[in-house]
Amino acid sequence: MSQPGLVILISGRGSNALAIIEAARDGRLPAEIRAVIADGPAAGLELAQQLGIDTVQIARDRFPDRTAFEQALAEAIEAFRPELVALAGFMRVLSREFVTRFAGRMVNIHPSLLPKYRGLDTHARALAAGDREHGASVHWVTPQLDAGPVIARARVAILPGDDPQRLSERVLEQEHRLYPAALALLLSEPVTHGHECNDETDALELDRDLDVDGRRIAG
């Protein structure tokens, strides 16, 4: 039987997309990466291509409006018949219609411990608030930006002398562990699209001090 299919959407460097591709290759993530799709030129697209993954560019500036762009994007995604769509640094706010079309099939990674710091500049905001910890969350995509139910989080301690750059690098390292593990969790469940955690205590937590592998988390 073929493995469940995954399509990844990116806008830039694509380091999370690469972490997901690697996890699928070494067996930590039982999924077939069917394509990486970008909304314009993206470094990550070339890297994915070098790894033998199908890539598609749906350049936003080639469409007269968001509706036409999203229609083309949706068709490009559906052509690969994915079970799940993973947004990984995809820098466009998607319309309610688009999100509804992929409801229960689309997840995102956000660099904060949601529900804290939706939107941009999360690392600077966590530092400015004097937080002692920060991190990343994988969540279901719903029409409200970064507000869908959290599936998994990874926590990172904020250290004396941190600046947004240093903090973002440590968070990104954890994102690369978190995203494949969260996807593996979703795909390991018989009803893959039903998994969500509205209750904070229910969300998968990746502790940076634990040596966690996908199987242990999913199990």
Q: Give the integer Cα–Cα distance in Å for 95 and 143.
A: 7
Find residue 7's DSSP bridge partners: 35, 85
Nearer to ligand GRF, 22 or 71 (CB): 22
- Minimum Å gap between C-beta 8 and ligand GRF is 9
CB closer to ligand GRF, 70 vs 146:
146
Nearer Cβ to ligand GRF, position 39 or 175?
175
Nearest one of 108, 132, 135 to 123, comparing CA atoms: 135
Rounding to the nearest 10 degrees, give the CA dihedral for residues 132, 136, 142, 148: -50
Q: What angle do CA 127, 132, 134 make, to 5 degrees?
A: 70
- Closest residue to ligand GRF, Cβ-based? 89
Shortest spacing between CB 219 and ligand GRF, in angstroms = 26
- Alpha carbons 47 and 29: distance in angstroms, whole number: 19
Among the listed residues 171, 172, 173, 152, the one whose alpha carbon sits nearest the alpha carbon of residue 217? 152
> Interface residues with ligand GRF (CB under 6 A)?
10, 12-16, 44, 88-89, 109-111, 136, 172, 175
Shortest Å distance, C-beta 133 to ligand GRF: 16
Any idea which residues carry the catalytic annotation? Answer: 110
Looking at the Cβ atoms of 110 and 177, the one nearer to ligand GRF is: 110
